[in-house]
Structure 1
């Protein structure tokens, strides 16, 4: 009998073993990300991140952060690996911390497709991304295994869960997530947003089809052979203007604007210089850079290292 095993077969066997038994992995993360780290020369940096920032549970700061959030992004995949990314929202605490290793959240009545729930039934692995756009401007990744739980069963096991009488905000079922990885998403590229005041056309939980967005992308009308005009933008709510933080609008719809005088901050929504003069574009870039450097004296490293302890 030939007992020789070539290197490729050994690598395949190791990968299968680690997939079947995650606890046997010597490092967090997937074999694929480890291979890319090796190829790009970032293994040492990745190891520092794994050691300094990644937990297999939610520490106290993470649990407080979760309890403050009103939305998160949810990644799932079916048994074939076909992926789906979705969005969940609710009042603070709707993503409920049961303990350091368990989160639960309600699934509301939606379009009836239930893509995320269907994926979870086939493949329990989920990834949650929570981003605080309004205060801290940091994010939290939570990866783990999920299961679908009936409302009555969840309320028996977790007393005190809220009950909302509005149909669009009433839990049909719950998803229970067992935490396997939790780590920070740094603030470097997270924008600072402002909440719209209550009473604007998109109050949370509405069942009004038009206010939910209707046929915004014209799919229904397009399927019927009709020309679909672009929807009109909703009027901006009347409220005091916040301190300008946004960069100039660089999208195709940005209207030409006069260059901002040198030394003055670029106001939110300012357009681009209506000229091909390189000096005007360089002046605009220098003003944007000056504003970014003046947004507080501390560096990104000083501000955000160890955010979650």
Structure 2
């Protein structure tokens, strides 16, 4: 997408990035000048060298997708630094490993290829990067054959990607550091704050919703059944 081609456009014919909805609200709330400066200085249709270096250091990303009806899903992906691969200045790819079998994000991509990525560096730069684009599901075989993402190039020890998601970049822009918390890295299994129950079990109690009320009451009171 050209840097000044709008995704939604305006009735007055102005050529700006972003949606028609945001343009309308900018006029309504008198933020057009600020928004125009942001579009001009911060929004690009490809990854700059600084963006590419930033992505290559990241260990996590938030992924946003929506189905054909606009129902949204936001998920989280993580791996060693650089698990999201920069293939060139307009193309990214990230691996999909074995999960719970729901395949919500991939299912949305099947219906609607529009995808958003949000990288946030909580540890050093305290800055974020938005990348919006069009996604394609790629088999592990094709990822290796076409993009050099071979088995020995997998991103998580002991795990192999079942497939990859390739993103053609349409726009990229900064998420400023305001309100991004500074976090500290800690090894898994290290000292943590108190937990009421192990996170690996039914942490949010969904499985208990199907129990009869008397069983739930006994469980919550810590009494054995029977």
Q: Same fold (TM over 0.5)?
A: yes
Q: Take 2:25 and 2:67, find their aligned partners in 1: how far apart are those partners?
A: 24
Match of 2:3 in 1: none
Q: Take 1:95 and 1:56, find their aligned partners in 2: how far apart are those partners?
A: 18
SS in structure 2 at match of 1:80:
coil
Match of 2:23 in 1: 34
Number of residue-to-residue matches in the alignment: 201
Match of 1:88 in 2: 77
* Structure with more relative contact order (C-alpha pairs < 8 Å, separation 6 or more): 2
Contact 1:201–1:211 under 8 Å retained in 2: no
Are 1:111 and 2:111 counterparts?
no
SS in structure 1 at match of 2:136:
strand
- Cα deviation, residue 221, structure 1: 2.1
SS in structure 1 at match of 2:115:
strand
Q: Where does 1:1-309 land on structure 2 (aligned, <5 Å)? A: 26-161=15-150, 162-163=153-154, 166=158, 169-200=159-190, 213-225=200-212, 226-227=216-217
Bigger Cα Rg: 1
Check 1:160–1:151 CA distance in 2 against 1; reply closer, same or farther (3 A cut).
closer
Match of 2:224 in 1: none
Check 1:25–1:178 CA distance in 2 against 1; reply closer, same or farther (3 A cut).
farther
Contact 2:7–2:17 under 8 Å retained in 1: no
- Cα deviation, residue 159, structure 1: 1.3
Q: Deviations over 1:238-257 (max 9, x none)?
A: xxxxxxxxxxxxxxxxxxxx
- Cα deviation, residue 197, structure 1: 2.1
Contact 1:102–1:177 under 8 Å retained in 2: yes
SS in structure 2 at match of 1:63:
helix
Contact 2:7–2:18 under 8 Å retained in 1: no
Q: Take 1:48 and 1:18, find their aligned partners in 2: how far apart are those partners?
A: 18
Match of 1:260 in 2: none
Q: Deviations over 1:188-240 (max 9, x none)?
A: 100000111254499xxxxxxx97632100110232232465xxxxxxxxxxx
Q: Take 2:209 and 2:140, find their aligned partners in 1: how far apart are those partners?
A: 39
Check 1:153–1:211 CA distance in 2 against 1; reply closer, same or farther (3 A cut).
farther
More strand per residue: 1 or 2? 2
Aligned CA-pair RMSD: 2.4
Q: TM-score, normalised on structure 1?
A: 0.61
Q: Take 1:201 and 1:184, find their aligned partners in 2: how far apart are those partners?
A: 34
Q: Take 1:61 and 1:145, find their aligned partners in 2: how far apart are those partners?
A: 22
Match of 1:287 in 2: none
- Cα deviation, residue 158, structure 1: 1.3
